[in-house]
Amino acid sequence: MEALVQWYEAGLGTWLPRQIFVSLVSMVPLVELRGGIIVARLLNLPLWQGNLFSIIGNIIPIPFILLFIKKIFAFMKAKRICVRFVEWLERRAEKKSKGKERGFFVFLLLFVGIPIPGTGAWMGSLIAALYEFDIKKASLAIFLGLLMATAIMDTLAYFVPGLFGFTVG
């Protein structure tokens, strides 16, 4: 993340506000909110701004995934575009959702909320869409999971000295 911040400061930082950069980082699959909060901390954004812009960035793709990913995947398969990648994502979503039948809301909330590699709002949305979980319930579970992940990442990035290469202050 430090290299990403250095890249930003060397070029984009002259015309792109730090807050927008944090939102853009938070939109990236696999990096998502947890990376956005670390970048916000490295850019010395106040906690509230780091949270706000990371959450906004991470939330923007979610409705599109929930509403359109099955159609996009079907189109990609029909046109033979990245078929192996689409099938890999589908297999991964299936593997990550074992035991979803019972307590899917709690599963989705925890899946998004516990910031470990391979989890997050993108994969949670993909799982919810592929298994046709109610969009309102999925949206709520994902949002609550984002709040949970925010609290965990805030603790690690803003209150644990030296964890990500910076000191508290």
Confidence (pLDDT) at 135: 92
Confidence (pLDDT) at 13: 83
Confidence of residue 38 (pLDDT cuts 50, 70, 90): very high
pLDDT in tens, 96-141: 766 566 688 999 999 999 998 889 999 999 999 988 889 999 999 9
Regarding predicted confidence, which is higher, 36 or 3?
A: 36
pTM as predicted: 0.84
Angle of CA points 125, 57, 151, to nearest 5°: 80
Confidence (pLDDT) at 168: 46
Regarding predicted confidence, which is higher, 157 or 54?
A: 54
Domain ranges of the chain: 2-59+151-159, 62-148
pLDDT in tens, 45-90: 999 999 999 999 999 999 999 999 999 999 999 998 889 998 988 8
**DSSP H/E element including 154:** helix 135-159
Cα 37 from Cα 49, distance rounded (Å) = 9
Confidence (pLDDT) at 169: 46
C-beta contacts of 131-134 below 8 A and 24+ residues apart:
131/93, 131/97, 131/100, 131/104, 133/104, 133/108
